[in-house]
Every structure is written in C-alpha cells, then in structure tokens.
Amino acid sequence: MAGEMSFWDHLEELRWCLLRVVVVFVIALVGCFIALPHIFDTLILGPAHADFFLYRWLGFIYGPGEDVSIININVASQFMTHISVSMWMALLIIFPYLMYQIWVFVRPALFDKEVRGVRSAFLGGTGLFYLGCTVGYLVIFPIIFKFLTAYRVSDSIVNQINLNSYMGILLSMVFVMGLVFELPSLSWLLGKLGVISRELLKSWRRYAVVVLLVLAALITPTGDPFTLLVVFLPLYGLYELSICVVK
C-alpha cells in the first residue's frame, strides 16, 4: 500500500461506499416500483398459476391442477406489498454492486495473496447467490407451495391464501436460499486462508447434518416434515460440495 490509512480515513471511505450503494439502490428501487405492476402476475405470482413450468414437469406427481387464488384482507397490504417487493427486487439487482463496494473497502487491508483469494470468493459468491435465489424461486418455493395448498385434511375446509402469507414465504425462500448457496464459496475462501481443511469438514459431517436440520427447521416457515426435507437436501448437498472445493 502507498500509505497507512487512519481510523478517520477508513470511516470516510466507508461513508462513501455506503453513499454509493444507497444511490444505486434508490435508482433500482424506483425502476422496480415502476415495472412491478407489469410483471407481478407473471413473475411474483407465477408459482400460484397451474401452468407454472415446474408443475407441468412434475405432472405425474401433482396431476392436473388449478390456479391458486391469493386474497387480501388488509386495506394497505397491496400498497405495502408493492413497496416491499420493489425493495427486495432492487436489492437483488444491485447485489453485485454491493459486493463490489465491500471489495473496494476491504481490499487495502489485504496482502496480495489474500487479494486473489478474496476476489475469487466474491466473484464466485455473487454467482452462487443468484443461483440460490433461482433455485429458491423455481424449485424450492413452488414445490412447498403446491404441496401445502393442495393438501387437504378435510374436503370441507377451503384454503384461502393471504397475500402477506404468500409473499412472506416466497421472499424468505428466495433470499435464504441465495444466502445459503454462499456456503461453498465461503468454505473455499476459509480453506484458501488455511482456517479449515477438507479433513476437518469430513470429520464434522455428522454434526453438520444435525446443524443443517436445525437450520432448515428455522428457515422453513411452515415446519412440516415435507418442507423441512425439501430445504434440508439442498443444504446438505452444498455442504458436500464445500468438502469437494476445500483443499
């Protein structure tokens, strides 16, 4: 480095990083707010439609179905949903820029060897985050949603899915899966820095199964065994992938 930065220099750099992120986030938020009414039915409510592509692929399991009606029982829910979904979509869009600003802030504190490892982890982590969000939206949430809405403990009971319930499960599944898909990238970085090793992860496998089951139970909003299994299997697969990528 050309020179040492003082504590106040670090705070000033952090302030500018945060300011740039906020500006980009506001721009993305405005764009998402304007575009959301045009894509809400096809994108956000896609898993509620019977012709969602995953349901057609799994027709031998689910069979012919019908659209699930989403109801609203709160006067302000639709407006607040418009705002909250726009915020989450904006965060999803600017995630690479957010990671870049974090990289800009931490890079001066790293040695050249660490720079190469952390740069690769940031790039790989960004891709894995989007992959996890995609899996959460296209696979995990539709399977859980279709199963729970089609399940009947009695034919006399009619399911009426509330908008807040639907959006809460959808957003949690998408972003939680995006975050947990960072596990291989984080494991690779820690292995690169010598913090963990492949043998250590293998020896922790039995404990990891218990921890991942607990984690799956915490992040699943319903708590039923089917949902727990659907979330647990990708988590365990990510742990095994982490073992493979760690030297």
pLDDT tens per residue, range 94-119: 998 988 888 777 777 666 666 676 77
**Which positions ≥6 away from 93 have C-beta within 8 Å?**
28, 32
Q: State the Cα–Cα distance between residues 95 and 21, nearest whole angstrom.
A: 10
Provide the pLDDT for residue 224.
67
> How do strand 161-162 and strand 70-71 relate by DSSP bridges?
parallel
Is a pLDDT exceeding 50 seen at residue 2?
A: no
Q: How many domains does the chain have?
A: 2
Q: State the Cα–Cα distance between residues 57 and 50, nearest whole angstrom.
A: 12
pTM of the model: 0.80
Task: Look at residues 180, 209, 234 and tell me which one is the last residue of a structural domain.
Answer: 180
* Residue 174 shares a structural domain with residue 209: no
Task: Look at residues 135, 156, 180 and tell me which one is the last residue of a structural domain.
Answer: 180
* Residue 18 shares a structural domain with residue 119: yes
Provide the pLDDT for residue 53.
82
Provide the pLDDT for residue 40.
93
Q: Share the mean pLDDT of the chain.
A: 84
* Residue 171 shares a structural domain with residue 192: no
Residue of 133, 139, 129, 205 whose CA lies nearest to 172: 133
- H/E run at residue 161: strand 161-162
What domain range is 34 assigned to?
A: 7-180
* Residue 124 shares a structural domain with residue 186: no
Tokens 């407006």, residue? 79
Considering the chain, what percentage of its residues have pLDDT values greater than 90?
23
Question: Within a domain: residue 12?
Answer: yes
In the chain, the amino acid numbered 111 is F
Task: Look at residues 150, 180, 210 and tell me which one is the last residue of a structural domain.
Answer: 180
Confidence of residue 52 (pLDDT cuts 50, 70, 90): confident
CA 158 remoteness from chain centre: 31
Confidence of residue 150 (pLDDT cuts 50, 70, 90): confident
Q: State the Cα–Cα distance between residues 152 and 158, nearest whole angstrom.
A: 8
Question: Within a domain: residue 2?
Answer: no
- Tens of pLDDT, residue by residue over 206-246, are 898 998 888 888 777 666 677 788 888 888 999 998 888 88
Classified as helix, coil or strand, 71 is: strand
* Residue 64 shares a structural domain with residue 138: yes
Q: State the Cα–Cα distance between residues 222 and 216, nearest whole angstrom.
A: 11
